[in-house]
Amino acid sequence: MLPDKEDGDGSGGAGGQIMSPKGEDPSVSLFREYLRLRTVHPEPDYDGALRFLDRIAVELGLPIKKIEVCPGKVVTILTWQGTNPNLKSVLLNSHTDVVPVFQEHWIHDAFSAFKDAEGNIYGRGSQDMKCVTIQYIQAVRRLKAEGQKFLRTLHLTFVPDEEVGGEKGMETFVRHPEFQKLNIGFALDEGLANPGNAFTVFYGERNVWLGCLLSKGLPSAVQAGPVMAPGLWRTRRLRSWLNTSQCLTLGDVATVNLTMVKGGVAYNVIPAEMDAGFDLRIPPTVNLQEFEKMIQGWCKEAGDDVTYDFAQKHMNQNMTSTQESDPWWNAFSQTCKEMDMTLQKEIFPAATDSRFIRAVGIPAIGFSPMNHTPILLHDHNEYLNERVFLRGIDVYKKLIPALANVPASPDEA
């Protein structure tokens, strides 16, 4: 799609690259080019993304490998080999897909990558997470141009279908033999923007349980409302904790959202069956077995005809160490400290590919270097300021060497 005319962008440069508008940093131009790729569900242009990454691999002089984890779903891997490839590697992960848009609610075309006078770049994926993809790429480009070499091998992975649950992307890829060959010791994945001065860092995620309460039979159908009430009441109470002196964040509490109600044939007929769908998010600090027993108790109180079932039920409670004695965290946090960055550690409130990486025993940090930025992932008019974007490249340019040069541990010697 062509950019908005107000921008004055041109296209068709050497090698098919977008030519940088006068005065615009080439990294910003590359970011905007990537934003214009319509990798949006329900029909993401993954072929366009693969062609883009093919070109990037050539520009960086890095070998590229493509793994089709299921028909039409390809994971792309760029590899920068370290001086000691026997050591565990560092993974920089990002996803290529973005969530749908409702264009009528956007002030600019969601795939035009429009940049306003203040340097705000509008586009679906500008925060989630095409910005991080280009920041990885440009940081690596600069490090290679300086002739730097690192102890550990660095892998950049670009995965599909994160925004639809990951079952055709990273969740499948971590079970693939090619993933095992990467020998990953530590991973970076996406985080969230922070409206304040701090940079949010995520060391764990809430478990996603998507399920339903099913009420069958005329007598029990009347009980569908009461069986929902305890969950909704508890949700309200849990959320109220966020305003207390305990300083909890959304990721610290369990939440239950009623998302669907199905059943009934007429206003004046009691339905024979009702189905209430819920989205539950449960912190890794919660005993999941006890939590499910609580749900069983709600159903028992409602009646024998009330049951529940889960369409999705994640049970991983792995969290990444944020102790200064941990070599990976120490390298990450000390490098941020040297850049005068304030880190705010949290449990991620939603779900990213980090959960699949942690589930196979690999420590992962969710981090997007976006402070002084409103949280707009999945929202209308998603944007990122170009100054924040460019600062993020500088951040990764410092973080990558620090992580890729973590000394060999005793079990790697």
List, edge to edge, every strand of the sheet that includes 306-313. Answer: 255-263, 273-282, 207-216, 306-313
Give the residue from 113, 252, 97, 253 showing the smallest Cα distance to 190.
97
Chain centroid to Cα 315, Å, comes to 18
**Are 216 and 287 contacting, i.e. CB atoms less than 8 angstroms apart?**
no
Residues 6+ apart with CB under 8 A from 344: 194, 198, 199, 200, 201
DSSP notation for 242-297: GGSTT---GGGS-EEEEEEEEE-S-TTS--SEEEEEEEEEE-TTS-HHHHHHHHHH
Instruction: Tell me how far apart the alpha carbons of residues 173 and 182 are, in angstroms, rounded to a whole number.
Output: 11
Around Cβ 293, how many Cβ atoms within 10 Å? 10
Ramachandran quadrant class, 292 (left: phi over 0; alpha: psi -120 to 50; beta: rest) = alpha
Residue numbers annotated as active site:
97, 162
DSSP notation for 31-54: HHHHHTS--BTTS--HHHHHHHHH
For the chain, the straight-line distance linking the first and the last C-alpha, in angstroms and rounded, comes to 51
CA distances from 155 to 79, 105, 130, 252 (A): 5, 38, 17, 31
